[in-house]
Structure 1
């Protein structure tokens, strides 16, 4: 252990790793004062250890990164601005300080809910009575839909604040997560689905400590990766890494890059397809061993139906051995794999997948892409050449005594590039550019940061999902598309199992709202849920086409909102339950090591406590709320079993730990977290220790970051370039939709091909000549989406960010339209109109407008008085802008005019 400030626990056995922690805890304060360790996880870039200062009166008056974790945690003892706002959040006078019941049965944006404060016993009895009644009726209604729907914060942060949520709903019975906020559809949705399909990756990132060329297509690495990301990217630039930002406006990340390329919106796929063409047909330098041994490039594909050629007996894919000139199983001893040519096998004409890929890429020239992207063809060629030159094909690097491939190039895709129309093509192309140089899951290259977090943390003896299927790809399950097992009618309001077979849960969440109001032809209208439960979610502000969302919220008979303050969604609720907030509640959560987003190459991981720093108001910890509800409903045994199964499994044996909860007994949150503390430290430390020290680390092998090792060990291949399974699934799904006369999904079905087609996706957004401007959105690092928009401190700081509260427009284009800096303007689409203040600037394409999402509050205290625009008010919630995975993007064609 190099950091002299950390202490190691003696190991209980030779198989247990040492645990490290700071003996200083949160640090010493002045007499009568105190530093309390806790954590911040308001966005996906955490968890960050922080400390809160209590003065002599016991008032929290300061938040900062915990300096005693420097040198261990990736944030290096720092925190960002959002953590500092927790003090203002704690003492916000507009907080809901006790349970409240709606007295006005009418729901609507203009209706006064008539909130009346009630006691906790009454509030919990109301909720328990409703849920008990539903369990008696059955969790599904007469139409087959689930009676209870839930929406929580982003999947990356919600679990860090919702306590025993999973255990409670697991005990209650199945619930529907279809009626979500923007999370799950406006996020990196398409990347989640295809990243998981290709290399078990939830979000794809660069290997920052070793990358030398990073091309960001819209990825805001300087506004969305947190303190640890900002530090590591700064370090990368200091050692000479080159960053290129490709996006329509000069963002904060673009300003800190070596080059900004102002591409036309929704044309990222054509740009990358042209790079692939340039590499294949002009540069002609590839990592052939990687293509032959780690991908499906040599797999023979039937020319009659586009499926892999399979051996009739074993169903294994076939390849062509070019030395002995015969077909063999893909996993047979092969002297040399053929990547090109045409071969007859079993009387069937075939070509290697690489041959089909190369033929398809021939038409995507830089000149073709230049006309679409509005980027010079020479720029595309230059980037392709720089990509190949920087990739160091054939190079290796030693990591902890093991030799691994070294390919220091990566492409990151941002939100709205990796979702919606054209996202599949952009995802496939960015992965293929890495595949061509052997840069997937290797040092310096294209990574899957969180693919193995759970297994690594629990020291799984097996490789889990990384064992091969009969095709040689990582084994996984798809929703059935055969006639016997296909889900019809849809079992969830998203229709995920019926329309999106690649995913087990990520469907078209925005269309769930729309289908309730206006279902597509032939699609059964989903029922309104009997009960809707929301936690740190505000779909009435963050979904597409907000009018549709409000119509649904008005119809829900019983809505429970775990509420911090009044907001646009809780305005429609029947009951408000004020949770003990960030600095008032107790939870243990993972930190360090890899995660589902920007993590990896950090040699330590562990757990950290979030604890009350002051006495809570008349609020309750989420865990205590769920425990009380479980007892009242009569599901306490199942609930305790769920806690044992999800939180109290021994990390070594995977069996119930000695600290498991007894059945039939209610436990306070302190008892549950104490058991969890003892479980994860194998009995060394309990809750009192964590409250004093904050958290601990244990070694995380750096080699575990690079999944290439497992690919080689287990004989696995990436299903790239050819999408054989996708093609077969698509053909079956087309038949099911045809049998039920469902035509609304025809455009999405075009994505189910072996090699994706690419075209000018920007044309799909055209809505008439008068709508001559693109409206796109950006992100501010000061905001956790808009969950801290009610804090004056956040607003004050953010107003110093150029153009944040306004709509940004190119200065010259503004002059053409008679608009000056500071003018009030109207931004109009076929679906609505918003008012904003113009911010004229250079560094933005003349055909683009930019707003920062998501604001436009009309109920949230303080935020409602800030006249900041929200493009959701004028975006459609429609099928035509949705891709096959169910994702959509924040793009809409508009006109802008000076307000008269």
Structure 2
């Protein structure tokens, strides 16, 4: 029992302001969780934290969500996320994702697009340990041993490049660094004067910089003498590297038969229709109607970056990135209400992703220079990561071990359930929260995170609040391809209950009383491009209806303020083919060889040595992905455990946001969503029957669970679905139902991806009565 007492708004804000002023001279003691998935609160809360001077502002919540796909997309596609082009794809492989069936942003749009694609004959192949909702809609489900996606991808690459010779030479020569010459030290061979990477021109036999206008025929293969050095093309290095992974050898790793890998690779390569074009609205474009899509299931591993990158590479080598029928980068480009577009940079590579908001998301290229940590998530030691909050429970155990003094003292958070959803091992998360001296949280319900709050501020539901461009659905994870752009604002359907306030107005009052309102407004004005009469002025506070009106007029013209949206609802804008399919128009190259990993790894080794830290944080800094096992794979091979728990999603729940909804609870009960999945033959061998209550035990957690026996799961896997396991008395409908998967996960430096900090989401377990 937190021992709360109801107090007035004035008393609550007085207390919050007093605590902020207490640490204002040391603002890095403030931690802000700004993840607001259903509104624009992320800019208001992160803006508040930045204006205050905090360097621990998190706009991400999950320990895996986006940790790999966002930084990867920005340097290999130009946008925030990726989507199969369901309008034109003929062959789609889903690995560790249920896109278009049970997950992903803009879900309702993709659901109908997937149904239409299947109806017109698109082949869908699902590679996943769980034969779940996506597999049920697929032509073929291929069960795979958890955590081995990379071995399968490298094997498919070998078949395409070395056995079948199927790859898009034109795209590789002009849109990637495949022809760049690489020296014996793993780095590009560069022009002595300009320091630009060199390419061998097969037309005249001369080395030339990648942007030399006289370059006619970039050599894709070969070894050449350049400046007294032997230089091999990056493509040759890739082909030689993946030759180590013939399907016969990876079968032992993945359990996928060699014949199946060869067949899928051949079908994928042939369906790519390399060399063909398609004309859309009078614009001729490359036509590559194949794609491999991946998401959380692939990112969430100890070597999650390379697990994911090896799959992305399958799209790159057949030329199916950002072209009709291929894999598309979300939110990468647009021309209404203003223009945004990906841009090249260092070494001619894609460096700056397209951003509708002028607030660049971190990319994994070129990365940052490792430095001594001053952040409590030690993000300085992960130079290619986009967000590192997964490290907070690890650092909180002993900040001094990481060269840090003191610690975080105050937390301000939006209504997320980070206790159960943002980290792993719940004991370590609890220690992190108990280490904080003061927590103020906004809440829609009294969940497990709210139980730690000293001050609880009520947060309106989505039917009671204002937001401009609701969430990221209309911007960064909107439908791709030739779907229209769509713009709308959230408006209250009902009046706020007595005593409730709009959260952005509360943030304004707190910022004003702390003396940072002007700083907050500078960030909001910049993020939303508010200028002139539409800019927020530092000498006043605004009702949220007026803020939304100013934003709408700034974006869509003075005639389209809030009253226009109240009358008309939505703006739709057609998307031109050259804006929808930007691949041929981006003036930058995608990597097939991660040359910058060499320098970032060396810099990190030097910094770790300087700090006298004996950690293996550098072993994944390799320019070419190679198979590396997760801890659970090793534990299985050593006989310490006999099963691996994996997570999967349902189409009728999102995180834990809806678990207290009685209608959705009824669906969960009726469909067995609260049960864990165990292979039928494995259950019988263990004497476990359908519906039995068992113990599910990981290295850090032991919980009771009800079993559902099924043939639709890999025999070495245990499936744990949804985001359940609630114990808060404020959630009586959800309390005591299902398993919280994250609580099973060890949280230490051996269980994070060394590039992205994603938490390893396959964990060794035992199941017994």
Task: Quickly name the TM-score band, shorter chain normalised.
Answer: over 0.9
Q: Secondary structure at the match of 1:658?
A: helix
- 8 Å contact 2:128–2:143 — kept in the other structure? yes
Aligned with 1:718 (options 581, 590, 594):
590
Q: 2:600 pairs with 716, 722, 729, which one?
A: 729
Match for residue 529 of structure 1?
A: 408
Question: After the TM superposition, which of the residue ranges 288-297 and 668-677 deviates more from structure 2?
Answer: 668-677
| Match of residue 81, structure 2, among 193, 200, 203 | 203
Q: Please say if 1:256 is aligned against 2:146.
A: no
Asked if the contact 1:287–1:437 (Cα under 8 Å) also holds between the matched residues in 2, the reply is yes
Please say if 1:708 is aligned against 2:596. no
In the alignment, structure 2 segments of 5+ residues that lack a partner are 354-361
TM-score by length of 2: 0.93
Partners of 1:229 and 1:116 lie apart in 2 by: 45
For 2:449 and 2:591, how far apart are their aligned partners in 1?
A: 42
Give ranges in structure 1 of 5+ residues lacking alignment: 1-111, 140-145, 650-655
1:692 equivalent to 2:692? Answer no
Alignment of 1:275-674 (within 5 A): 275-303=156-184, 305-332=185-212, 333-452=214-333, 456-460=335-339, 463=341, 465-474=342-351, 486-488=370-372, 490-497=373-380, 499-503=381-385, 505-507=386-388, 509-518=389-398, 522-525=401-404, 527-542=406-421, 543-589=423-469, 595-597=475-477, 599-617=479-497, 618-647=499-528, 649=530, 656-674=531-549
Give 1:27-46 correspondences, 5 Å limit: none
CA distance in 2 between counterparts of 1:857 and 1:763 reads 29
Q: Secondary structure at the match of 1:547?
A: helix
For the 8 Å contact 1:189–1:887, the answer to whether it is kept is yes
Give deviations 1:550-608, integer Å, cap 9, x for gaps. Answer: 11211211100101121111111110000222111112216999742352124432432
1:214 is aligned to 2:92:
yes
Q: 1:150–1:175: 8 Å Cα contact kept in structure 2? A: no
Distance 1:616 1:558 in 2: 28
Specify the SS of the correspondent of 2:189.
Answer: coil
The match for 2:710 is 841
Q: Separation in 1 of the partners of 2:559 and 2:365?
A: 46
Separation of aligned partners in 1, 2:738 and 2:720 = 9
In the alignment, which residue of structure 1 is the partner of 2:555? 680
> So what's the TM-score if we normalise by structure 1?
0.80
Change (3 A) 1:351 1:684: same
Instruction: Assess if the C-alpha contact under 8 Å between 1:825 and 1:837 holds in 2.
Output: yes
Could you say what the CA RMSD is over the residues aligned between the two structures, in angstroms? 2.5
Q: Which residue of 2 aligns with 1:131?
A: 20
Shift of 1:678: 2.3
Task: Report the alpha carbon displacement of residue 842 of structure 1 after superposing the two structures with TM.
Answer: 1.6
- For the 8 Å contact 1:321–1:328, the answer to whether it is kept is yes
412-421 vs 310-319, which moves further: 412-421
| Pairwise CA distance, 1:233 | 0.3
Checking the alignment, whether the CA contact within 8 Å between 1:320 and 1:328 is kept in structure 2 is yes
Partner of 1:119: 8
Deviation of residue 631 (structure 1)?
2.5
Q: Structure 1 CA distance, aligned partners of 2:42 and 2:223?
A: 57
Q: Give the Cα–Cα distance (whole angstroms) in 1 for the partners of residues 440 and 31 of structure 2.
A: 10
For 1:375, what is the secondary structure of its paired residue? coil
Structure 2 partner of 1:150: 32
Structure 2 vs 1, CA of residues 202 and 385 (structure 1 numbering), >3 Å: closer, same or farther?
same
* 1:39 matched residue in structure 2: none
SS, match of residue 327 in structure 1 = strand
1:591–1:607 contact (8 Å) kept in structure 2: no
Q: Secondary structure at the match of 2:709?
A: strand
Aligned partners of 1:237, 1:784: CA distance in 2, in Å? 24
Distance 1:585 1:481 in 2: 40
Instruction: Verify the 8 A CA contact 2:95 2:297 in the aligned structure 1.
Output: no
| Structure 1 CA distance for aligned equivalents of residues 605 and 43 of structure 2 | 42
Shift of the 756–591 alpha-carbon distance from structure 1 to 2, 3 Å rule, reads closer
Cα distance change of structure 1 residues 279 and 602 upon mapping to structure 2, 3 Å threshold: closer
Q: Aligned match of 2:112 in 227, 231, 247?
A: 231
User: Shift of the alpha carbon at 1:688?
Assistant: 2.7
1:817/1:530 CA distance change after superposition, 3 Å: same
Cα displacement (A) at 1:863:
4.0
- Structure 2 residue 127 is matched with structure 1 residue 246: yes
Judging changes above 3 Å, is the alpha-carbon distance between structure 1 residues 533 and 845 closer, same or farther for their aligned structure 2 residues?
same
Q: Distance in 1 between matches of 2:471 and 2:503?
A: 21
Residue aligning to 2:359: none
- The CA deviation at 1:667 is 1.7
Q: Secondary structure at the match of 1:245?
A: strand
Please state whether the residue corresponding to 2:557 is helix, strand or coil. Answer: coil
Deviations 1:610-644 (A, max 9, x none): 22222212211012111221222233333344433
Aligned residues: 752
Judge conservation of contact 2:34–2:45 (CA < 8 Å) in 1.
no
Instruction: Specify the structure having the higher radius of gyration (Cα).
Output: 1
What's the secondary structure of 1:417's corresponding residue? helix
Shift of 1:262: 0.8
Partner of 2:357: none
Q: Is the 8 A contact 2:84 2:92 kept in 1?
A: yes
Q: Cα 1:797–1:166, aligned 2, differ >3 Å: closer, same or farther?
A: same
CA distance in 2, matches of 1:481, 1:435: 19
Residue among 774, 781, 787 paired with 2:657 = 787
Q: Give the distance between the partners of 2:343 and 2:60, measured in 1 at CA.
A: 32
Structure 1 position 348, deviation (Å): 1.1
Matches of 1:591 and 1:640, distance apart in 2: 20
User: Contact conserved, 2:646 with 2:719, CA < 8 A, in 1?
Assistant: yes
Rate the CA distance shift 1:325–1:148 in 2: closer, same or farther, 3 A: same
Q: What is the rounded CA distance, in whole Å, between the counterparts of 2:180 and 2:766 in structure 1?
A: 50
Contact kept? 1:593, 1:600, Cα under 8 Å = no
